[in-house]
Structure 1
Amino acid sequence: MTVTVAKQQTATRLIPQLALQSQQQLTGQLDIQANNGEGWSLFFCVGRPIWATCNSRPVRCLQRQLQRHSPQVEFDNLAIRDTDDRFFCWNYKVIWVLYKHQCISKDMAVAIIENSVTDVLFDILQAERQGTLTFNATPREALTMLRMQIVALNLKNALKKAKQAFQAWSEAGLAPVSPNYRPILKDLEQLQAHTSVKIYQQLVRKIDGEQTLRELADSLEIDCLRLTRSLRPYLQKGWIGLQKASDIPRPSQPNKPPSHRKAAERRQPPLVACVDDSPQVCKQLEAILTEAGYRFLGITDSVQALPILLEHRPDLIFLDLVMPVANGYEVCTQLRRMSQFQKTPIAILTGNDGVVDRVRAKMVKASDFLSKPINAEKVLETVKRLLAVTA
């Protein structure tokens, strides 16, 4: 059965469609397609939802739910093949296998299922607000669905939760904004000019261009509505943009051979960055390191350091201790909070080779401590040693 729903200003047609499947006690799946190309699948057992998935980002959505509710699970090692006819989709099979092998508890599995269904219903409500939807119900063998279900949800409760979330989202003026989009920093100059130093540094540190709004909210342990509402002024001015997030590959077997892209990246000479407000120091290090065969990146503005480092992802970073606005300890602390730089060697540069400074350097997780004035032999010895640890 296929039903085409006329465009509505408010999301009303999804609800009778779900009520129909509940009344008819559908055991199978309801595929929903939006005119913007997005699609979702809701799975029912005797009229009650047991799973839901976004068809364009199933792996990414599963990874988020596992990180949120079962962080002990190593997602990259979940090499579960999609070859069993009992399962209606791969991402549900992952949850089922983890639950049956006691890698996650029943409560964790139920929480993942409940939140997946709520998120999908939210996204469908938002898509219906913006255009037409097509519904297609496909029955499946009842006994198999019964055996494979972990929990059967109350449809009214799940829909009520999704409606409340979308209503709050809309009332905040965010109806056109998808929580599945990735925020990106588009105009750093305007952001820096019109925000405080603290807010600017927080934005640069938090928004890496990779995480969706939902993923970013999870990583910050705050509500997605609260996060997106705080970004709304910058979105409206175009200083922060939104981009569609693509799916990620399914996890494969561990110890897989490196991709051609990663192998090519390793063939390039290591990139060493220096954050120092002294152009002279940067030029000294550049001369020493480029002559030794390394690539070099000099940054003389500590406020601009984070976005530049995020863009270039150096293999090693030298940080000047004494700089205006943000000193080396503060910058080092911010870098270590970011997943991209948690393992990157960071060496503090200073003219004060004291015990207190060395202790503070260890407290902010600096990898080493190098005294000024710059000595070529010490610099090269430090670079080789620190890069050897991460090789």
Structure 2
Amino acid sequence: MSAPPNSLIPQQTQRVSPVDLLRTLCEKQVTGSLWVASNGVNWLVVFEQGRVIYVTHDLEPLVRLGEQLQRQGGPGSVLAEEVRPLINTLFAQKLKEPASGRVGYEALLWLMRQQYLTREQALEVCERLTREALESLLLVSEGAVVFSPQTHLSQTGYSFELSALLTYCQERIRGWRALGAPVWSPYQRLYLTSHVTPQKQLPELHQQFRVHLRGLSFRHLAIQTNYDELKLAQSLLPYIREKVILLREPQPPFHQLPRLLPLQPIAPPVKPACTIACIDDSPTITNEIRRYLGDTGFEVIAVNEPLKALMQIVRLKPELILLDVGMPLLDGYELCRLLRKNPLFKKTPIVMVTGNTGFLDRAKATMVGATDYLTKPFSQEGLLKMVHRHLAV
């Protein structure tokens, strides 16, 4: 998967919020492929009507499939000893093609068609591979992104709810980060040192682990011992801290995957830079404004009852007021005029929010003391520009 079809990924990178991006695509019930490229790694997420079919990246797709086959069948099984080499032989040539990351999925479908795996077994393997790739994708903060309406993958009839996948992967990431600074990747390699005497008494490591602590990563060690890799890392953490086990960089190409950052100490709550009151009888609009401004350091207070708005605004004393024009019983123009009569709000920026764009509407807003005019529908960028224009933030 060195590049998406037709080299669709742009050269310029951008800030990426994978969670928001995936949720948006699922909410729109899209069918197609999302490509994310970062630090030489390309991720692929395939959707069908807003559900996730598969998530992968282009680092050793057949190796990762083979490991999951070994986990499925166990060491010495037909899947581990016969099918795994067969897959490598049949699909190795495809690794040289563009979008090679999906080769693992194509091989998985082939295994199901050839009845090496039942449909239920293929689903288990697919879900583990999807979770593994999604977990690393959620750590990406900057990359090139493109969406294609084509999936390029045969469908199996099964798919996954994004919310369940996110819940699982985010919980896993929290677990990894809780381990602290020594551990920053599931692909870090572990080495057992025999000459180090621990400062505190630790139980003797089980022989099952000792024979493998010669450069296997947490992930590969978990495959060999049939353990969950996070629980494995948690159990080995005391030995790592006492330097009985040393950690080394991931083996290429897995060193290209984004790093985990340890959990930071919880800081005391910080007062938001400014309080913004949003007066609108529509909860949909106030929720959208809160979503647009909620992660940018502002505290957004929604006021949905125009008749009670004046009392609430006097109590809140916001630094800026976003005021809808078309409200029942008491419209925005009249409310703006009443606010300007109060000495507390003589200089408070009041931005009228409306779908009307006529000259007379703007003139009326100016006459009642409005500071500015924001036309619906508005983008997050447009809203932020308006807020920053009138607040010294």
TM superposition score normalised by structure 2: 0.51
Contact 1:87 1:148 (8 Å CA) reproduced: no
How far apart, CA to CA, are the structure 1 residues paired with 2:214 and 2:131? Answer: 26
1:134-153 → structure 2 map (5 Å cutoff):
134-141=143-150, 145=153, 147-153=154-160
- Distance apart, 1:23 and its partner CA: 3.0
Relative to structure 1, the CA distance from residue 40 to residue 193 in structure 2 (aligned partners, 3 Å threshold; closer, same or farther) is same
Q: Equivalent residue for 1:68?
A: 71
Q: Equivalent residue for 1:19?
A: 23
Q: Equivalent residue for 1:232?
A: 237
Q: Equivalent residue for 2:316?
A: none
- Distance apart, 1:87 and its partner CA: 9.5
The structure that has the greater radius of gyration is 2
Q: Equivalent residue for 1:222?
A: 227
Q: Equivalent residue for 1:170?
A: 177
Relative to structure 1, the CA distance from residue 111 to residue 20 in structure 2 (aligned partners, 3 Å threshold; closer, same or farther) is same
- 1:34 aligned to 19, 34, 38, which one? 38
How far apart, CA to CA, are the structure 1 residues paired with 2:178 and 2:158? Answer: 32
Q: What SS class does the counterpart of residue 151 from structure 1 fall into?
A: coil
Q: Equivalent residue for 1:157?
A: 164
Q: Equivalent residue for 1:213?
A: 218
How far apart, CA to CA, are the structure 2 residues paired with 1:90 and 1:181? Answer: 25
Contact 2:26 2:50 (8 Å CA) reproduced: yes
How far apart, CA to CA, are the structure 2 residues paired with 1:92 and 1:120? Answer: 12
1:115-126 → structure 2 map (5 Å cutoff):
115-125=128-138
Contact 1:54 1:61 (8 Å CA) reproduced: no
Q: What SS class does the counterpart of residue 46 from structure 2 fall into?
A: strand
Q: Equivalent residue for 1:321?
A: none
Cα deviations across residues 34-53 of structure 1 (Å, max 9, x unaligned)? 34x44422222233221122
How far apart, CA to CA, are the structure 1 residues paired with 2:99 and 2:213? Answer: 40
1:367-378 → structure 2 map (5 Å cutoff):
none
AA in 2 matched with 1:227: L
Using the aligned pairs only, state the percent identity. Answer: 21
- 2:52 aligned to 49, 72, 75, which one? 49
How far apart, CA to CA, are the structure 2 residues paired with 1:236 and 1:196? Answer: 11
Cα deviations across residues 234-285 of structure 1 (Å, max 9, x unaligned)? 434554122312369xxxxxxxxxxxxxxxxxxxxxxxxxxxxxxxxxxxxx
Structure in which a larger fraction of residues adopt helix: 1
Contact 2:61 2:101 (8 Å CA) reproduced: no
Contact 1:30 1:135 (8 Å CA) reproduced: no
Q: Equivalent residue for 1:272?
A: none
Q: Equivalent residue for 2:210?
A: 204
CA RMSD, Structure 1 to Structure 2 (Å): 3.4
Contact 1:42 1:53 (8 Å CA) reproduced: yes
AA in 1 matched with 2:213: I
- Distance apart, 1:100 and its partner CA: 0.9
- Distance apart, 1:230 and its partner CA: 2.5
How far apart, CA to CA, are the structure 2 residues paired with 1:86 and 1:133? Answer: 20
Q: What SS class does the counterpart of residue 206 from structure 1 fall into?
A: coil
Relative to structure 1, the CA distance from residue 174 to residue 228 in structure 2 (aligned partners, 3 Å threshold; closer, same or farther) is farther
1:243-258 → structure 2 map (5 Å cutoff):
243-246=249-252
- Distance apart, 1:222 and its partner CA: 2.4
How far apart, CA to CA, are the structure 2 residues paired with 1:175 and 1:234? Answer: 11
Relative to structure 1, the CA distance from residue 151 to residue 85 in structure 2 (aligned partners, 3 Å threshold; closer, same or farther) is farther
- Distance apart, 1:153 and its partner CA: 1.2
How far apart, CA to CA, are the structure 2 residues paired with 1:86 and 1:241? Answer: 32
Contact 2:68 2:125 (8 Å CA) reproduced: yes
Cα deviations across residues 67-126 of structure 1 (Å, max 9, x unaligned)? 11244322012222356999982111110000011110111111111111111122223x
Q: What SS class does the counterpart of residue 223 from structure 2 fall into?
A: helix
Cα deviations across residues 275-302 of structure 1 (Å, max 9, x unaligned)? xxxxxxxxxxxxxxxxxxxxxxxxxxxx
How far apart, CA to CA, are the structure 1 residues paired with 2:208 and 2:72? Answer: 26
Q: Equivalent residue for 2:108?
A: 95
Q: What SS class does the counterpart of residue 189 from structure 1 fall into?
A: coil
- Distance apart, 1:140 and its partner CA: 4.5
TM superposition score normalised by structure 1: 0.52
AA in 2 matched with 1:25: Q
Cα deviations across residues 178-237 of structure 1 (Å, max 9, x unaligned)? 11222123x43115897668338665323131x321221232232222211232234345
How far apart, CA to CA, are the structure 1 residues paired with 2:182 and 2:31? Answer: 32
Relative to structure 1, the CA distance from residue 172 to residue 243 in structure 2 (aligned partners, 3 Å threshold; closer, same or farther) is closer
Contact 1:29 1:138 (8 Å CA) reproduced: yes
Q: Which runs of 5+ in 2 are unaligned?
A: 1-8, 255-393
Q: Which runs of 5+ in 1 are unaligned?
A: 8-12, 249-391
How far apart, CA to CA, are the structure 1 residues paired with 2:207 and 2:101? Answer: 45
- Distance apart, 1:29 and its partner CA: 2.3
Stretch moving more, 212-221 or 235-244? 235-244
Relative to structure 1, the CA distance from residue 208 to residue 214 in structure 2 (aligned partners, 3 Å threshold; closer, same or farther) is same
Q: What SS class does the counterpart of residue 204 from structure 2 fall into?
A: helix
AA in 1 matched with 2:235: S
